[in-house]
Amino acid sequence: MTEDRNDEGRMPDGQRVPLPLKLFGALCVLGGLASLGDLVPVAVSLVQGLGGAGYRTASVAIFAALMAVLAASAVLFVFLGVRLLLNRRKHAAATANTLAALTVLSIIGTLMLFGLSAHHIGYLVQLVILIAVTSYLDPSLAEERAAAQAAQDGQGAAPRRAAPGRRG
- Give the pLDDT of residue 165: 56
Per the document, the length of the chain is 168
Cα 60 to Cα 46: distance, rounded to the nearest angstrom: 8
- Cα dihedral 107/109/113/118 (nearest 10): -10
pLDDT band, very low/low/confident/very high, at 113 (cuts 50, 70, 90): confident
CA–CA dist 58, 113 (Å, integer)? 10
pLDDT value at residue 124:
93
Q: Residues near 152 by Cβ (< 8 Å), separated by ≥ 6? A: 160
pLDDT tens figures, 32-41: 999 888 888 7
- Sign of the alpha-carbon torsion through 132, 136, 138, 142: positive
**Helix ranges, the chain (H):** 19-51, 57-85, 92-114, 119-137, 139-155
In this predicted structure, the answer to whether residue 122 has a pLDDT above a threshold of 50 is: yes
- Does residue 61 surpass a pLDDT of 60? yes
Range of weakest confidence among 18-27, 50-59, 116-125: 50-59
153 vs 11, more confident: 153
Angle (CA) 117-119-120 rounded to 5° is: 80
- Is the whole-model pTM more than 0.75? no
pLDDT of residue 33: 93
If DSSP codes are grouped into helix, strand and coil, which group holds residue 88?
strand
Residue among 121, 69, 125 nearest 99 (CA): 69
pLDDT of residue 39: 86
